[in-house]
Amino acid sequence: MKKDLISNHAQLDNSGKLVHLLGLEDLPKSHLLDILDRADSLLDSQGNLKKSKALDDMSVANLFFEPSTRTRNTFEIAAMRSSANVINVDLANSALKKNEALMDTMHTLKAMQIDMFVIRHKQSGLPHHVAQHLEGVSILNAGDGTNAHPTQALLDMLSIRQHKPDFENLSVAIVGDITHSRVAHSDIQALKTLGTTDIRLIAPEGLQHDAERCNSVKCFSDIDSGLNGCDVIMVLRLQKERMLEADIPNEQEYFDNYGLTTERLALANKDALVMHPGPINRGVEIDSAVADGAQSVILQQVTNGIAIRMAVMQILAKNHE
């Protein structure tokens, strides 16, 4: 799907209420903050998740056309903790394998009275297409190609805010395979919405942001200069499944030049947060000592993912009433 056909416009109804979550480009700051605040209210003072009846009598379908551990399971837990019925559609054994068109499958599931669809697909723009053609349901984008991963960026913002709430004075470095990362694309957007101006993208040539998109962020090829004095470091995996065989970097060389080690972490501010959306490839983009170290909030991100997904589903459910 062409980039210009990917419009997040459909996610707000005529009165400006959120009815789908497709991307963060057109999401007003007030909506973004509402989601973070609601997610916070679902966590108790110990950081444990509360339960809610908000999605009682509703049905949520998970459609993951790409592998997932964190996103799929936390969407499932979030729906269950909000009292919804959840089905994980078994795509490998579905009628899609008998050449049923995707939209026919979607209409069939809608006829089973599904209220919300959580969709991950390798094609950028696929959830947007479904949202435009399937009425009366909510679509949640759980990652579309290299385009967007809005709930990941929202949980990243919640994780940052819990430690460093002053987004306007934050320096955030994103390190790794920016080109193929829907997470990076959504994080950059969320940070901009929250007023962060010092956004640094650190990547080797070939995995860096498009030149024309680099103008409102700072692009670095040297990791040491990029990390200098930053407050948050987000590390990304090499997304080899999206690269041509010939373009895949040598892992040892990549680790030597871009791996986040204890020595490199020391270049950032001393209380800098270390984040990673997972899955982690230890010894490739991050050293174990850093991934498991005191500054890492990687597992907190996972728990926050449940709160964020509960918050989004509850807001969508309310707006559909």
Tokens of 172: 């955030």
185 near ligand NCD (CB under 6 A)? no
x/- track of binding to ligand NCD for residues 24-63 (CB under 6 A): ----------------------------------------
Q: 140 to 159, contacts with ligand NCD by CB under 6 A?
A: 143, 149, 152
- Sequential DSSP letters for 166-204: -GGG-EEEEES--TT-HHHHHHHHHHHHTT--EEEEE--
**CB of residue 17 to ligand NCD, shortest distance in Å:** 26
Integer Cα distance of 123 and 67 in angstroms: 14
**CB of residue 304 to ligand NCD, shortest distance in Å:** 12
Choosing from 26, 49, 70, 218, the residue that interacts with ligand NCD (CB under 6 A) is 70
151-167 CB burial, b ≥16 within 10 A, e <16? bbbbbbbbbbbbebeeb
* 20 vs 149 by CB, closer to ligand NCD: 149
Q: Which of 55, 56, 66, 61 is nearest to 109 (CA)?
A: 61
72 near ligand NCD (CB under 6 A)? no
**Alpha helix ranges (H) inside the chain:** 29-41, 70-81, 102-111, 126-133, 150-163, 182-193, 223-227, 251-258, 262-265, 288-291, 298-319
Task: Report the half-sphere exposure of 256 (CA within 13 A, side-chain side).
Answer: 5
* 71 vs 138 by CB, closer to ligand NCD: 71
Residue 139, class by beta-carbon neighbours within 10 Å (0-12 exposed, 13-18 middle, 19+ buried)?
Answer: buried
**CB of residue 184 to ligand NCD, shortest distance in Å:** 9
* 132 vs 239 by CB, closer to ligand NCD: 239
Integer Cα distance of 54 and 56 in angstroms: 6
Integer Cα distance of 278 and 68 in angstroms: 10
**CB of residue 267 to ligand NCD, shortest distance in Å:** 24
183 near ligand NCD (CB under 6 A)? yes
**CB of residue 183 to ligand NCD, shortest distance in Å:** 5
Integer Cα distance of 296 and 80 in angstroms: 28
Residue 144 forms beta bridges with which residues?
Answer: 121, 148
x/- track of binding to ligand NCD for residues 259-288 (CB under 6 A): ------------------xx----------
**CB of residue 303 to ligand NCD, shortest distance in Å:** 13
182 near ligand NCD (CB under 6 A)? yes
**CB of residue 188 to ligand NCD, shortest distance in Å:** 14
Residue 141 forms beta bridges with which residues?
Answer: 119
How many chain residues are in contact with ligand NCD, going by CB under 6 A?
A: 11
121 near ligand NCD (CB under 6 A)? no
Q: 212 to 241, contacts with ligand NCD by CB under 6 A?
A: 237, 239
Query: How do 138-144 and 59-64 pair as beta strands?
Result: unpaired
Residues that bind ligand NCD (CB under 6 A): 70-71, 143, 149, 152, 182-183, 237, 239, 277-278
